[in-house]
Amino acid sequence: MLNTLQTNASYLEQVKRERGDPQAQLEAMQGFLERSGLKVEDLDRLNIIHVTGTKGKGSACAFTECILRSYGLKTGFYSSPHLVQVRERIRINGQPISKDLFNKYFWLVYNRLEETKDPVHASMPAYFRFLTIMAFHVFLQEKVDLAVVEVGIGGTYDCTNIIRAPVVCGVSSLGIDHTSILGDTMEKIAWQKGGIFKPGVPAFTVAQPERPLEVLKERAQERKCPLYLCPELDDFEEGCRALELGLAGAHQRSNAALALQLARTWLQRRGCQGLGELKEVPPSPELVGRPVPLAPAFRLTVPRVPPGLRDTEWLGRTQVLSHGPVTWYLDGAHTTSSIQACVRWFRQAALNQDKPHDGSEVRVLLFNATGDRDTAALLKLLVPCHFDYAVFCPNFTEVSVANNADQQNFNVTLENALTRCLENQRTWTRLLEEKVGQDPLLPSPLPLVLVPPAPRPLNSPALVFPCLAQALRWVAQGRDPQLAAPAASGAHPHPVASSGAVLLREAAAVRVLVTGSLHLVGGALRLLDPALSQ
């Protein structure tokens, strides 16, 4: 029944149609909320932390929730998309709500909306709007102390923006994504993100390019919202040992710094003990002269905060699964800057793994991208990783997904998805033929490679599979205990598939980067870690 309310792709189409009148969208959302039995004022009781951004907003939310949970507070956390099960979107104390609770609140909200239909209000809310309303019901009735709410897309027009009085707001790193809805420049996107600012409610952002930061400042002034720039995590570590983060990758440090400010401000405004005492820290040189005042760093004097950062889990982001000789590196990066960060992380993480004695290591890219993303630009950034094989497949776990309602998408046909994969295959082959040898990675404070990698030929045959299960089985060749061996019958027709199968079976180590789409990563996780489906 939930899936009949449409999934993400058609919701995006609906937003595109309605975006000329954002007020009408929010009024429609308010109407659905009231038909479900809640008023907008009821949401004020949730003590909300509202977070937007292009990259890292989910990770920043996860860090924030984990820090505040370490204080013994009962936390709610609403995020999207889900990776394996839809229940992941609505969490209490860090855990997806149970099937029983999901069932209870789904029918409570669905039936109320069904009963209140009339000629004027004949419709049901779309998938994301419905789950947002349902999350508010869950958090209110289960009496959470606070709710961390991640924006779906943008900010101004997003249905979470019916929240009137959050305790604090956050904006993670900005980038180019969802251009058909949010605009095709960083400034337009910054304008959208700044739409969550509320009068008198403090907001924090991480270091941003100059013009988008100016736009955020203008939006904050319009909305009479005090906006601050987060200091870097290094400033919190001054005079004490480095903070250990539960999420890998240098790019997670800015998400953790944002989380520290959000958590501290929430505790202060709710009259709770803070995270630590303020200290005067000279700001990092690159933050001097920015148009937004710098929030003060503070000495972390509360012993439970570092474990909160260390214990944060956020599946499908810089995640490593070691399954015998096959190591899976999963990251849902899907914008150019997040793919750059993913490549830095993968090269560093793969380098830190023990090298096989005989040197026989095979590297595989498993990639898909959805929506209006420029896949050629994303794939170009992945070429310097020197993969031995590139594998493309749709986000479907099986060719038939009838038995897996959590991952059904009625808006993408197998034919359309495979056409996209074949285009990606041609793009990859063309990029290799052009011998794109230069390294496109952004400067990094850490050396990307501590020892020079063994030279690899720039030759990476590309294969397309009709579903994730077949792609993963071919890569693993029966060497991952979670995956069956590939079927002998109906073998892949491409001649590289059989020669590659021999190399994959004989290699001492197989390293697989799965990236380009959170939905792809979610499907892979479902197959690689069956416990997540329980």
Binding residues for ATP: 317, 331
Strand order in the sheet with 389-392: 319-323, 326-330, 509-515, 361-367, 389-392, 462-464
Report the distance separating Cα 406 and Cα 91, nearest Å: 16
What amino acid is encoded at 347 in this protein?
R
Report the distance separating Cα 368 and Cα 136, nearest Å: 33
Cα dist. 39→43, 109, 260 in Å?
7, 14, 31
Closest CA to 144 of 201, 90, 89, 82: 90
Cβ proximity of 203 and 170 under 8 Å = yes
| Residue count (the chain) | 534
Q: Are strands 326-330 and 509-515 parallel, antiparallel or unpaired?
A: parallel
Report the distance separating Cα 313 and Cα 432, nearest Å: 36
Structure tokens belonging to residue 78:
């609403």
Please spell the DSSP secondary structure of 339-383, one letter per residue: HHHHHHHHHHHHHHSPPPTT--EEEEEEE---TT--HHHHHHHHG
Structure tokens belonging to residue 278:
């303020």
Structure tokens belonging to residue 246:
């539960």
Closest CA to 434 of 442, 446, 426: 426
Binding residues for Mg(2+): 80, 150, 178
Cβ proximity of 60 and 53 under 8 Å = yes
Taking only Cα atoms into account, the Rg of the chain, rounded to an integer number of angstroms, comes to 23
Report the distance separating Cα 420 and Cα 153, nearest Å: 23
Report the distance separating Cα 13 and Cα 376, nearest Å: 23
Cβ proximity of 152 and 250 under 8 Å = no
Q: Are strands 95-96 and 48-52 parallel, antiparallel or unpaired?
A: unpaired
Q: 18-26: long-range contacts (C-beta < 8 A, 24 or more apart)? A: 18/157, 19/157, 19/181, 22/156, 22/157, 22/195, 25/157, 25/159, 26/157, 26/159, 26/161, 26/162
Report the distance separating Cα 304 and Cα 322, nearest Å: 30
Report the distance separating Cα 127 and Cα 260, nearest Å: 32
Up-side HSE of residue 46: CA atoms within 13 Å toward CB?
30
Binding residues: 80, 150, 178, 317, 331
